[in-house]
Amino acid sequence: MIGHVESLDERLSAYFSREAKFEVLADGFTWTEGPLWVPPGSSVDGCDGDSGCLLFSDIPRNTIFRWRPGRGVDAFLTPSGYTGIEFYGLEPGSNGLTLDTRGRLTICEHGDRRVSVLTVGGGKRTLVDAYEGKRLNSPNDLVFDAEGNLYFTDPPYGLPDREKDARRELDHFGVYRLSVEGELTLLTTELVRPNGIGLSPDAKTLYVAQSDSQRPVWVAFAIQDDGTLGPSRELANARSYMKEFPGAPDGLTVHSSGTLLASGPGGVYVMTPDGELLGRLLTGGRVSNCALDADEKWLYITADKQLCRIPLQ
């Protein structure tokens, strides 16, 4: 067991007990990311059993791993994000993972610089790898709305030399929307290091985390009827928390109630849609991302070299 729950508001008790403990499910990875709960009966080959499974990325190892209750961890997909033959930096693999509206595994790939979908009984299909004819940087995190429109972030973290990489083709790091019809729209370049992304339950608000050391924030955008974004609204700034613990705003997920569960310095930050901090689930170390299971009974957390979980009320 590691970490503890820090309650800052009595409303946290609706989600997590003060006595809740972190359970370490697996250890010994390089840098874990992109946790995704795949429920029983899914169309994802290898995760179609009776118990469901948890998929997550180890970016440096270019592998997606699978955890199944009672069966532990094994490799699920290698390579996961880079299929080249030359060395491609320290973070070549997959990052964010999600399911599309058809239940297929959809992957942010650093090295191949694309968002792909794993087809049923076959290989991958590229959903998007370029904007206006120029290659994306390194898609990081993604989320679908109920209609099948895809929102994703594209910072420089997967490029071997990051923002100074000679292979970089775009002059910005953006947040994008790929419509059901296949139209790609650049929604904003306001955030210089866009990272984690999520949607409110009514799909009217887009949440984005920024991992920039100068402005480490969580922001919200109202989604307009035409799919574009309104002005940003800053929810919280993590600068003071970065003095306590290592890490920065990174991946996030949204509870069905609308409450945000956002990874940040030292753990997961539980906050209202208006940015009120209810409490922190503190591991004390770097935390990259988190994901709920289908019943919202467990929060799975990728914490540096570990895969953890903590129960909800």
Q: What mean pLDDT comes out for the span 298-313? A: 97
96: enclosing H helix or E strand: strand 94-99
Total Cβ atoms within 10 A of residue 16: 23
Mean pLDDT on 228-257: 97
Which residues, including other chains, have CB under 8 Å from residue 203's CB and lie 6 or more apart? Answer: 145, 146, 223
pLDDT of residue 224: 96
Whether the per-residue pLDDT at 119 is higher than 70: the answer is: yes
Environment class of 281 (CB within 10 Å of its CB; exposed 0-12, middle 13-18, buried 19+): buried
Q: Give the pLDDT confidence score for residue 120 in this predicted structure.
A: 86
User: What confidence score (pLDDT) does residue 252 get?
Assistant: 98
Q: Has residue 47 got a pLDDT over 70? A: yes
Lowest mean pLDDT among 42-51, 62-71, 208-217, 257-266: 42-51
Residue reference for tokens 């399911």: 99
- Per-residue pLDDT at 212 exceeds 70: yes
Task: Give 93's pLDDT tier (boundaries 50, 70, 90).
Answer: very high
CA distance 306 to 303: 5
According to the CATH classification, is domain 4-311 in 1.20.1740.10? no
Using pLDDT thresholds of 50, 70 and 90, give the confidence band for residue 1.
Answer: low
The residue-averaged pLDDT of 6-12 equals 98
With a cut of 90, say whether residue 202 has pLDDT above it: yes
Q: Report the chain's mean pLDDT, rounded to a whole number.
A: 96
Q: What are the sequence ranges of the domains in the chain?
A: 4-311
Is pLDDT at 49 greater than 90 in this prediction?
Answer: no
61 pLDDT band, cuts 50/70/90, is very high
Cβ neighbours for 223, distance < 8 A, ≥ 6 positions apart: 203, 204, 205, 206, 229, 230
- Give the C-alpha separation, 182 to 130, whole Å: 12
